[in-house]
Amino acid sequence: MHTSLSSVQVMNITKTNHSMHGFMLAAVIVAAVLNATSTTRAQNLVPNPGFEEFDICEADEFGVNGPLQWFRTNGTPDYLQSCLPYGHVQGLPMNHFTYQEPYEGASCAGMYTYHHNGPIQYREWIMVPLLEPLVVGQTYYGSFRANAAFGGNAQNPEFWLANDKVGMRFTTMAMPPWNVGDPYPVPPNHAHILYPQILADTVGWTLVSGSFVADSAYQFVMIGQLFSNALTDTLHFAPPGSVSWWYPRAYTVVDAVCVSVSPDGCDLGQGVSEAQVAGPVLFPNPAHDKLVVDQRAGAEAQILDAVGRLLWQGRISNDRWVLDVGSWARGAYMLRMAHRGRVETYKFVLTE
């Protein structure tokens, strides 16, 4: 039996169809927005993070034929590539500096991170522009993998030290690309994320990670050892008498660089949520005469002033550790701690 519909019924069905279409369209838009938000939160802001992208396989020191986007800002860091012949000065896994497989992919970066001799305190740094500027007040998470070089195929074992404080520093402007003959930059004695202990693992890849709150619209990240010799601790891999005495240097291999607005965007080892759910770690802030560090027993800690000078370092001995700061100059300070496989950074202020 065929039944005709009235004009009112047709109008109601049309309205219903339009409503359903609008609801479905809205749902699609919401899902797309949520998906885009999730993707943005997990996005790695470092282009070419594993140094895999390049124009030509050719020995290079982060110059014309180095990894795309990256450039050198101090010394002549090395672009290490598996596509070069085995045993090549910049090949992988065997090269002039070490024997090491990349953490991921087929390439990585290598750089001097300590030089004992001479007033220049030689270092090598690399830099890359971020995919977007950091937002002031936003917490960011960063990480990379590092390995201490030792046992390469150089005629003499020239690289026989390990050092601490390998890390990453963020800047609003690019440092000028370094060319042979240029003066060496003075170490800034500051890094936003670093590995405070001596990085001495020559076999595995050590995770360097941490978080910080952006206080500027940073647009670049720099990797290396950014502290003077006076603020650097070292370790001998071999007796000094058995190696080339004129090359007491440390060399570090770097791979898998990451910066993200999301704690899920970078490899952070033990994760970052623990500090957030455990309550305040550092209090009172501002402080006057006593500073309390809570729930960080066993952590290796450092306190630096506003210009990056090391004022104190040691081990946090218990879960309610008190530091007497009554005689310290009033102003801003930074506490860095290595705790359960990750680096934490806290700013505090001393007031009258």
Of 34-43, 71-80, 150-159, the least confident? 34-43
Q: What is the pLDDT averaged over residues 292-301? A: 89
Give the model's pLDDT for residue 158: 66
Question: Sorting pLDDT into bands at 50, 70 and 90, what band is 38?
Answer: very low
Q: What is the pLDDT averaged over residues 227-249? A: 77
DSSP 223: E
User: Residue 31 pLDDT > 60, yes or no?
Assistant: no
Phi first, then psi, for residue 344 (nearest 5°) are -115, 145
pLDDT digits (tens, 9 = 90+) for 324-344: 999 999 888 888 888 776 667
User: Residue 105 pLDDT > 80, yes or no?
Assistant: yes
Question: Sorting pLDDT into bands at 50, 70 and 90, what band is 111?
Answer: very high
Question: Sorting pLDDT into bands at 50, 70 and 90, what band is 215?
Answer: very high
Name the 3-class secondary structure at 291: strand
Domain range summary for the chain, segments of one domain joined by +: 1-42, 71-260, 273-350
Question: Sorting pLDDT into bands at 50, 70 and 90, what band is 352?
Answer: confident
- C-alpha 314/C-alpha 200 separation (Å) is 19
User: Residue 153 pLDDT > 60, yes or no?
Assistant: yes
This prediction's pTM: 0.67
pLDDT digits (tens, 9 = 90+) for 173-204: 999 999 888 989 999 999 999 998 899 888 88
User: Residue 15 pLDDT > 90, yes or no?
Assistant: no
Give the model's pLDDT for residue 102: 95
Q: Considering the chain, what is the average pLDDT of its residues?
A: 82
DSSP 60: -
CATH architecture of 273-350: Sandwich (2.60)
Q: Give the contacts of 191 (CB within 8 A, at least 6 positions apart).
A: 165, 167, 168, 169, 226, 227
User: Residue 252 pLDDT > 90, yes or no?
Assistant: yes
Pair type for strands 220-225 and 166-171 = antiparallel
In this structure, are residues 297 and 317 in contact, taking their beta carbons and an 8 Å threshold?
yes
71-260, which class in CATH?
A: mainly beta
Residue 145 neighbours by CB distance under 10 Å: 22
Q: What is the pLDDT averaged over residues 4-32? A: 42
pLDDT digits (tens, 9 = 90+) for 263-275: 889 988 643 333 3
In this structure, are residues 163 and 218 in contact, taking their beta carbons and an 8 Å threshold?
no
How many contiguous H segments (helices) and E segments (strands) does the chain have? 2, 19
Alpha-helical regions (H) of 84-137: none
User: Residue 30 pLDDT > 50, yes or no?
Assistant: no
User: Residue 234 pLDDT > 80, yes or no?
Assistant: yes
Q: What is the pLDDT averaged over residues 129-158? A: 89
pLDDT higher for 273 or 256?
A: 256
